[in-house]
Amino acid sequence: MRFELKRETGVPLYIQVKNQIKENIEQGIWTPGSKIPTERSLAQELNISRNTVSMAFRELEAEGILVCQQGRGTFIAESDEAVRRESRKERLLKIIDIAMEEATTLGFNLDEFLAITHVRAREKQEILSNVNIVLIECNREQVEYFARELAHSVGVIVQPIILNELQRQPDKFQSILQKADIIITTLFHLQPVREIVGKIDTEIIALALSPLLDSIVRIARLPNGSNVGIFCTSYLFADKMIASLRNAGITHLRFERFLGAENPSELEEQVASVDYVITSPSRKTELAGPARALGKGEVIEFIYSPDQASIDLLKSTVLELKQKNLKKWE
């Protein structure tokens, strides 16, 4: 197996990785059904970010060339038939089928099973929702977006706090922090948050964040040399976004930052001055109209999201906490 990446060509690195995987298959180096190196090992070998390899793997999987099996690895798809995989939904359906069969043997009919499971699910939902969570992040765009996403995915109300506001006025937020059942931050801000929280006996969970691959893939496909406008509300978010794109091997674009406009005319001028528009979640609606009217195509929303492992950890922590609280009242 040989990979040779040419960084000076302007071709996104993930596309080069993708093409060379295809070449290895065409040349018979990797045969149908064979296991290929992991994202991590390939990224280390090529001295590129894991996100870059992940983008290549994801597109090849969508094309039916690769098959990713959780817990087993990534394989070249069989030429005569795709490797059969059970989706999460299929596994859940099997669990439900088994539960229905067990319920039937216990003398319950399907209507009773449906009613009992519905009540049980609502009870679990109540357990998750009655918890006080504080989220601390460095910029308003991310903290507000995360608060909404976590409320949706975990089913809890999240109180957002901006890190620099907390650092400037820690006393102002002491009562909020003391009432919190769980404090959430990111791995990058874990240490300063610990220092500020101090002796408050509240569990701190650090989330691992990464940009959504869909956003990176769409940006990577923009033409070489394009002038791209980044529309957000803070230089901190814009700089973090640009750094993430550079780490993903996207070096063929020019970026310009726009933090706001005093009126619609100024916003139109800003949009007109660039070839493509990238926006933080908070400004997507504002920019959709001007971008469409000026022929800039669809606005690309750049989103950082907690990984599934972080979400699962938070869910289990919340559930365990509330179950303990419920037992105190039994």
Cβ count near 143 (within 10 Å): 21
Closest CA to 4 of 64, 37, 115, 19: 19
Helices (DSSP H) in the chain: which residue ranges?
13-26, 39-46, 50-62, 88-105, 110-129, 140-154, 163-168, 174-179, 190-197, 213-220, 235-247, 264-272, 284-293, 308-329
The third-level CATH classification (topology) of the domain covering 213-302 is Rossmann fold (3.40.50)
Question: For residue 304, what are the β-bridge partners?
Answer: 211
Outline which parts of the chain fall under CATH 1.10.10.10. 7-76
**Class for domain 131-209+307-329, per CATH?**
alpha beta
Ramachandran region of residue 45, left (φ > 0), alpha (ψ -120 to 50) or beta? alpha
pLDDT given for residue 88 in this prediction:
58
Cβ count near 321 (within 10 Å): 18
Helix (H, G, I), strand (E, B) or coil at 80: coil
Per the listing, tokens 């037992």 go with 327
Query: Which amino acid is located at 288 in the chain?
Result: A
pLDDT given for residue 85 in this prediction:
44
Helices (DSSP H) in 274-307: which residue ranges?
284-293
* Rounded Cα gap, residues 18 and 23, in angstroms: 9
Outline which parts of the chain fall under CATH 3.40.50.1860. 213-302
Tens of pLDDT along the chain (330 residues)?
667 888 776 677 888 888 888 888 887 888 888 888 888 888 888 888 888 888 888 888 877 788 877 667 888 887 543 434 444 567 788 889 889 999 999 999 999 999 999 998 887 766 656 678 899 987 777 777 777 777 776 667 788 898 888 888 888 888 888 888 889 988 878 888 888 887 777 888 888 888 888 888 889 999 999 999 999 888 888 888 898 898 888 989 999 999 878 888 999 999 999 999 999 887 888 898 899 899 988 899 998 877 777 777 887 887 777 676 555 444
* Rounded Cα gap, residues 246 and 237, in angstroms: 14
Outline which parts of the chain fall under CATH 3.40.50.2300. 131-209+307-329
pLDDT given for residue 113 in this prediction:
94
Torsion of CA 206, 212, 216, 218, to 10 degrees: -170
pLDDT given for residue 314 in this prediction:
80
Q: Which CATH architecture has domain 7-76?
A: Orthogonal Bundle (1.10)
